[in-house]
Structure 1
Amino acid sequence: MDIQENINVNVNENNNEAKKKIIIFLIIVTIAAIAYLLYYQLVGKYNESTENAYVNAEQITVTSQVGGLVTELNITDTQDVKEGDLLASVDDTDYKIALETAEANIAQAVKAYYSTQSQKNAIDQDINAKKVILEKLAEDYTRNKTAKTAGLITDEQLKASKAAYEQAEAGLKASQSNLEGTKVQLSGSLEEYPPLKQAIAMYKTAYINLSRTKIYAPVSGKVARKNITIGQKLMPNQAILVIVDLNNIWVDANLKETQMKDIKIGDKVELKSDINGKEYEGKIIGISAGSGSAMSLLPAQNASGNWIKVVQRIPVKIAISKKSIEKNGVLPIGSSMEIDVKLKKSSEQNNDDSNFELLKSRATKMYQVDEDKLNAEIQEIINKNK
């Protein structure tokens, strides 16, 4: 009996212990559920997060504008460059010869203009002389006709006088026609002389091509995907490297379409980098016009009978605060980010848009030609040959 009582006591104790554990478990679950509900109501419903986000930046592809062998190379992958730095040089021998040939063509055109001008003056003098001769022959012919009527000269003499007159008249017309052709060639000033304008155009082309044998950095950034070596034969418009502007970076986040209901441009974003674990401040500056699949090269076709619904992703562009970048450092493109969009505070955005502003447009002078210098060189060549 004592043994049975002990067994019953132990069973009751075990049951009580089990009940206590169940009650504690239920209390913990209830607290967790309440905590989650409170978190969702106070925080979660105003946030949208994803790990499908990656750093991006402007990538400038540098190409060779002319063909030729690479004779100089001053860069390597991962190197920082500044706008205007000489990256590489192409063999310029042929381009120098082309420029010298173009210079000779300008000189020849100038000389041809003045030579034609001299011809025009000579033709003018020839016409004046022929007019005097023609007037005299016309008088002789008129007098000879009168003399023939009076029987003072023979028919042969009259015919000879007429032939001389007609020959002089034809010579005058030929000279006048030659003068008109010369005037057409000399229509306008030297600068409007067609052969000279053509020679100047060829000189400018040769000058520009020679300048393009030097390849400069159009922007500041970090060199990536270098595809050029010493001695390599380059073709015009061949891509030789990429410059990544890491001071102008943003994040491309791909959010589920079910997360996009309350997201709008201007929402604040907290970003955490997988590279350094640091947090950055961001702001949504753009939402794609279509889902990732719709904007792909080969959009998915959902007209088949075995269609299965797949939640789509909408690309969202997020600018990173410049202050955050200065504080935590730049990030390489393609690196992963965790983002948390703050929906609740979307109406309380920072008005300092310049802190989030990306470069929307830019210009470089590396591809520009100094036209004043070029025109001065051309004028100097013209003056030497006048």
Structure 2
Amino acid sequence: MADTLVETPKTETPPPRIVRKPKRHRGALIAMLVLLPLLVGGYFLWKYLGTYESTDDAQIDGHIHAISARISGHISQVLVEDQQIVKAGDVLVVIDPRDYDVAVAKAEADVADARAALTGSQTEIPITSTNTASTLQTAQSTLADSRAGLLSAQRQLSAAESRLAAAEAQVTEAQANYKKAADDERRYKQLVDKEEISQQLYEQAAQAAAAAKATVDTRIASVNEARHNVAVAEAAIQQAQAKVPQAEASIQSALTAPQQVAISRSKAKSSEAKLAQQAALLAQARLNQSYTTIVAPAAGIIGKKTVEVGQNVSPGQQLMAIVQLDDVWVIANFKETQLRRMQPGQRVRFSVDAYSREYQGRITGIGGASGSRFSLLPPENATGNYVKVVQRIPVRIDLDPGQNADHHLRPGMSVDPKVFLR
């Protein structure tokens, strides 16, 4: 058919060709855009991490005062309880003081007795000195008197012997006169019997003989008396001679005056030492008396109370503890590899698990040895199966002023410290 449509084939025009850049350039650009921030951030993170050292092996530390008895006794009062806040000087426990009051009274009496003994000893020194001086003078006077008495007795003996010699001579003379008179009487007796002489002449001769006889008797009595006087004089000499050694001995005794004074002074010094000893015992008794009242040595919180009223305690027995809160610090146990740049004075920031705040402080000291060296059984590394273990060294961190004004920090709390090395 003429009107039949005849489809003429159409020629298709190819789409325009798109020229694409290589994908590898795009990937490198993306990698650079991603890695560059990471590298910059990693660098700054590395720099930041290198500015401090941290550890989780750290805790709060502080003073924990052990309260113990210094004397033995019976507990009469307990004035605190566990967890009670106390101030320095508050009375905690009272031990019955009556036994110690008696001990103080006895010590005071002993001191008074020792002081009186010392006064007596000191008074005795001048008395001894005066007495010995007086005794020496008396002994010297006695010796002089004894020697004078001996000399007088010797003179009396000499005079008595002279009188005895004279009396004996007179006896001899009297005997001679009596013999002559007796001979004359006998001759006159014969003559009168022959009546060659008168009776009167004979009687005169007889009387002369009797008188001569009486004279002889008198002279003999004088001799006996003289001999007695000689014996008395000899006895006086012996007595005087005995007194001389006695007086000399008294002088020798009196010459020991310096030694006697020295002895008195030694007694006084001994009394002084005794007084000092008794005074020391009194001081100890008063100390023991003061120990009956146990007071808080510092402000803090009571803990670990084990004492009760009526309990008997002994010296050294722990009764309770006081945790001091106004002076706490941090002990952080860092690895030994972390101590390369750590030194006292570096700034520290730390937090505790109990509170959501940070505290400021500074390093004040680094331990002298690792914790293992202070343990009860230090490690022995001389064996053949030694394994190296990184040790930890305690570092003390003190809080800056005012950081613990609320006293919230307690010894034993866990701490996460950061020590800034720059």
TM-score, length of structure 2 as denominator length: 0.65
For 1:309 and 1:44, the matched residues in 2 are separated by 26
Q: Which residue in 2 is equivalent to 1:193?
A: 272
Matched, 1:275 2:354: yes
- 8 Å Cα contact 2:348-2:418 kept in structure 1: yes
- 8 Å Cα contact 2:154-2:233 kept in structure 1: no
For 2:134 and 2:51, the matched residues in 1 are separated by 103
CA distance 1:301–1:30, change in 2 (3 Å): farther
Shift in Å, 1:309: 2.2
- 8 Å Cα contact 2:136-2:250 kept in structure 1: no
Q: Which moved more, 1:281-290 or 1:138-147?
A: 138-147
Matched, 1:208 2:287: yes
- Structure 2, unaligned runs of 5 or more: 1-30, 161-231
- 8 Å Cα contact 2:140-2:251 kept in structure 1: no
For 1:246 and 1:239, the matched residues in 2 are separated by 20
Deviations 1:274-294 (A, max 9, x none): 112322122222211222223
Matched, 1:245 2:324: yes
Q: Which residue in 1 is equivalent to 2:154?
A: 149
Matched, 1:284 2:382: no
CA distance 1:50–1:174, change in 2 (3 Å): same
Structure 2 counterpart of 1:49, from 36, 43, 54: 54
Deviations 1:175-219 (A, max 9, x none): 74655422432369xxx8333222222222222221222212222
- 8 Å Cα contact 2:153-2:240 kept in structure 1: no
For 1:113 and 1:197, the matched residues in 2 are separated by 11
Give the counterpart letter for 1:317 in structure 2. Answer: R
Q: Which residue in 1 is equivalent to 2:173?
A: none
Give the counterpart letter for 1:157 in structure 2. Answer: A
> What are the equivalent positions in structure 2 for 1:25-104 lying under 5 Å apart?
34=39, 37-104=42-109
CA distance 1:241–1:166, change in 2 (3 Å): farther
CA distance 1:146–1:207, change in 2 (3 Å): same
Shift in Å, 1:239: 3.2
Deviations 1:347-377 (A, max 9, x none): xxxxxxxxxxxxxxxxxxxxxxxxxxxxxxx
Q: Which moved more, 1:127-136 or 1:242-251?
A: 127-136
Shift in Å, 1:136: 4.6
For 1:229 and 1:261, the matched residues in 2 are separated by 52
Matched, 1:113 2:118: yes
Shift in Å, 1:273: 0.9
- 8 Å Cα contact 1:141-1:158 kept in structure 2: no
- 8 Å Cα contact 1:257-1:313 kept in structure 2: yes
Structure 1 counterpart of 2:142, from 137, 160, 164: 137
| Matched positions, count | 315
CA distance 1:126–1:342, change in 2 (3 Å): closer
CA distance 1:272–1:286, change in 2 (3 Å): same
For 2:49 and 2:126, the matched residues in 1 are separated by 95
CA distance 1:272–1:184, change in 2 (3 Å): closer
For 2:252 and 2:108, the matched residues in 1 are separated by 38
Give the counterpart letter for 1:186 in structure 2. Answer: A
For 2:50 and 2:137, the matched residues in 1 are separated by 108
Give the counterpart letter for 1:339 in structure 2. Answer: P
Shift in Å, 1:93: 2.2
Shift in Å, 1:123: 4.6
Shift in Å, 1:335: 0.9
- 8 Å Cα contact 1:282-1:320 kept in structure 2: yes
Give the counterpart letter for 2:332 in structure 1. Answer: A
Identical positions, percent: 29
Deviations 1:323-355 (A, max 9, x none): 3323x6521111111122223xx3xxxxxxxxx
Q: Which has the higher contact order (CA 8 A, sep 6+)?
A: 2
SS at match of 2:53: strand
Give the counterpart letter for 1:86 in structure 2. Answer: V
Q: Which residue in 2 is equivalent to 1:340?
A: 418
Shift in Å, 1:54: 0.6
SS at match of 1:69: strand
- 8 Å Cα contact 2:128-2:264 kept in structure 1: no
For 1:132 and 1:324, the matched residues in 2 are separated by 88
Q: Which residue in 2 is equivalent to 1:184?
A: 266
TM-score, length of structure 1 as denominator length: 0.71
Structure 1 counterpart of 2:389, from 310, 333, 342: 310
For 1:305 and 1:330, the matched residues in 2 are separated by 49
CA distance 1:166–1:249, change in 2 (3 Å): same
CA distance 1:41–1:119, change in 2 (3 Å): closer
Shift in Å, 1:300: 1.4
SS at match of 1:306: coil
For 1:118 and 1:265, the matched residues in 2 are separated by 68
More helix by share: 2
**Highest Rg: 1 or 2?**
2
- 8 Å Cα contact 1:105-1:199 kept in structure 2: yes
Matched, 1:261 2:340: yes
Deviations 1:114-159 (A, max 9, x none): 3345555655565466456534532332123223433154343333
Q: Which residue in 1 is equivalent to 2:310?
A: 231
CA distance 1:218–1:273, change in 2 (3 Å): same
